[in-house]
Amino acid sequence: MQPDKISHPWFALQVKGNYENVVAAHLGGKGYEWFLPLYKSRNRWSDRWKEIERPLFPGYLFCQLDPLNRFPILTIPGVTRIVGTANNPVPIDNSEIDAIQAAVKSGLPSRPWPFLQIGRRVRIEYGPLCGLEGILLNFKGEHRLALSVTLLQRSVAVEVEADWVESLPEQSWSRTERSCVSSAQP
């Protein structure tokens, strides 16, 4: 049965280890909108280095679905549950999914990161992440923007240029509606 074309909220699906791509293929085959954010990682093999793609959220992927019609999702091989409380799935905040999608689409280097809630809140004013808000990290001389998925208690760190960043006063730590400067400008 094909899911209806109504836009449903995003939910996190917890899957068996290394089943993210298998589940994504099944979801696509059933007509569901899914999102599996990946990052590039260099791994050393016995005789060489190889770059592979890994999930930014190992053991999870995201899917738009009708929470009242969960059975087709739960029968996909590798899906263990839809993340939520008790037997009730909890949707992911759209702004969090939008931020992760923008980070992946930007092509900027990113990595899984421990979940952050406290830190220097900033807004990106230039570049491919223009308009996103997150927590600024300084790690090994690099500036990174931490974007979080609160429900999963996990974050992603994306490398950014220091001059793209503007600090936010504490009162404006929610999304602000300001236009960004064109990414063509430095």
**Helix (DSSP H) and strand (DSSP E) numbers for the chain:** 3, 14
Write the DSSP string, 1-69: -PPPSS-PPEEEEEE-TT-HHHHHHHHHHTT--EE--EEEEEEE-SS-EEEEEEESSTTEEEEE--TT-
| pLDDT tens digits, one per residue of 65-119 | 999 999 999 999 999 999 999 889 999 999 999 999 999 999 999 999 999 878 8
In a domain, 1, yes or no: no
186 lies in some domain: no
Same domain, 129 and 157: yes
Number of structural domains (the chain) is 2
Print the domain residue range for 16: 10-89
CA-wise closest residue to 6 among 56, 64, 50: 64
Tell me whether residue 74 is in a domain.
Answer: yes
| Domain match, 74 and 140 both | no
pLDDT computed for residue 170 by the predictor: 67
Query: For residues 22 and 137, what is the distance between their CA atoms, to the nearest angstrom?
Result: 34
Query: Is 74 in the same domain as 139?
Result: no
Q: Which of 39, 68, 89 is the last residue of a domain?
A: 89
Please identify, among 89, 111, 133, the residue that sits at the C-terminal boundary of a domain.
Answer: 89
Asked if residue 5 belongs to a domain, the reply is no
- Answer yes or no: is 4 within a domain: no
Q: What is the pTM of this model?
A: 0.84
Q: Say yes or no: 157 and 98 in one domain.
A: yes
Per-residue pLDDT at 171: 52
Q: What is the mean pLDDT of residues 25-54?
A: 91
Q: Is the same domain home to 63 and 101?
A: no
Residues 98 and 83 grouped into a single domain? no
Q: Which residues contact 55 (CB under 8 A, 6 or more apart)?
A: 20, 36, 37, 38, 61
The last residue of one of the domains, among 89, 113, 136, is 89
pLDDT of residue 178 exceeding 70, the answer is: no
Residue 173 three-state SS: coil
